Amino acid sequence: MKNSTAIVIIFLAIFLSSCANPGIVKLSPDTYMLSRADRAGIFGNTARLKANVIKEANDFAASMGKVAIPLSTNSTPVYPGHFATFEYQFRVVDKDDPEAKRTHLIHRPDVVIEKHEKIDAKIKTEENNSDSIDIYTELTKLNDLRERGIITDAEFEAEKAKILNRSR
């Protein structure tokens, strides 16, 4: 009987400790993370969960005489079989630190897609005017060069005038 009681107590202790929130976790010398779950299900309040987490982070920083600067947030909504969660990463800095004056969250995408393409803008001059001219395409390419800073506004206007004169 003693063994079965001890086993039940150990099992309950392990189960209850796995349900507990870890509190504030130190990620680096000045960076921390705080994560919470709203276990009220459909009766929970996600906005209150977020506000409480941010308040706890601010209180933690204030206890050290510093300010919490938000770095990122991550949340999951309530859906069947899952509780709402909110993760908040923040830095703790001195009150007179320049970062404390201007704070903002930087959106960090889950996926980054890079597109590299070579734009070839062949501007036809009077010498090679034998081909038929697609005015729209030529002007679009020319405008793209101007927007990228490759040619100046004056160069753009000069080449535009040449293209329009050739089309007559």
Higher pLDDT, 142 or 78: 142
Instruction: Place 32 in a pLDDT band, splitting at 50, 70 and 90.
Output: very high
Instruction: Give tens-digit pLDDT for 105-122.
Output: 556 666 667 777 777 777
Mean pLDDT of 90-94: 90
Domain borders along the chain are 20-101, 126-166
For residue 16, the model assigns a pLDDT of: 46
Q: Which residues, in sequence order, are CB contacts of 21 under 8 Å at separation 6+?
A: 35, 36, 37
Residue 99, both tokens = 């970062």
Residue 17: pLDDT band with limits 50, 70, 90: very low
Taking all residues of the chain, what is their mean pLDDT, rounded to a whole number? Answer: 78
130 vs 162, residue with greater confidence: 162
Res 127 pLDDT > 60:
no
Cα angle 115, 119, 122 (rounded to 5 degrees) comes to 170
pLDDT tens, residue by residue, 48-59: 888 899 999 999
Query: CA 49 from chain center: how many Å?
Result: 21
Distances (CA, A) of 5 to 8, 27, 68, 79: 5, 39, 46, 37
Mean predicted confidence (pLDDT) in 27-47: 84
| Residue 156 pLDDT class (50, 70, 90 cuts) | very high
